[in-house]
């Protein structure tokens, strides 16, 4: 299982519910799309995840920026994901970012709005923010292999699924 988070915006800990902590600890891979804010928050995610990959966001301090890239590509179950916090130019720029990296989907954050958008040239997934939703539903994403595709769910930090989707290789 792949767990995707973003926009924690914390100066202390990772702001995890018991459910979300269990999901992170059980995941094969945890991806965070930036805006931890302070290094202890990044360290806490790394401590809870068996395998962790992240990027820094616009609100992350220099300690985080020195440890994480602004963008990266990760692979899970044969699917390639481009990961960034944001790209200037919105969905068009995010899709171009994904095309340039020859990926199956783009994982991003910044808006705090949990969203899966598959109408453009590259599927775009924003898990939202589990800790600072800023008027949107708090969220994170889970992707699980089902045959040759990934079943995705946007979920609340308590574990309620509020949107489902599928990813197929591009």
Domains of the chain (ranges, CATH numbers): 2-168 (3.60.21.10)
Residues 6+ apart with CB under 8 A from 39: 61, 63, 64, 67
Model pLDDT, residue 170: 76
Q: How confident is the model at residue 75 (pLDDT cuts 50, 70, 90)?
A: very high
Q: State yes or no: pLDDT of 12 exceeds 90.
A: no
Q: Are 9 and 35 in contact (CB under 8 A)?
A: yes
Q: Are 97 and 83 in contact (CB under 8 A)?
A: no
Q: What is the pTM of this model?
A: 0.97
């Amino acid at each position: 299982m792949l767990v995707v988070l973003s926009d924690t915006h914390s100066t202390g800990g990772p702001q995890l519910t018991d459910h979300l902590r269990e999901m992170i600890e059980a995941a094969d891979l945890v991806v965070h799309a930036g805006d931890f804010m302070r290094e202890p928050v990044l360290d806490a995610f790394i401590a809870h995840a068996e395998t962790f990959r992240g990027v820094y966001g616009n609100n992350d301090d220099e300690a985080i920026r020195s440890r994480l890239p602004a963008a990266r590509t990760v692979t899970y179950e044969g699917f390639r994901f481009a990961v960034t916090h944001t790209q200037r130019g919105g969905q068009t720029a995010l899709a171009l970012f994904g095309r340039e990296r020859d990926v199956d989907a783009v994982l991003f954050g910044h808006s705090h709005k949990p969203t899966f958008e598959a109408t453009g040239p590259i599927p775009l997934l924003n898990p939202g923010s589990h800790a600072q939703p800023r008027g949107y539903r708090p969220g994170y994403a889970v992707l699980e292999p089902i045959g040759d595709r990934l079943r995705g769910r946007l979920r609340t930090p308590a574990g309620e699924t509020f949107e489902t989707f599928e990813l197929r290789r591009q």
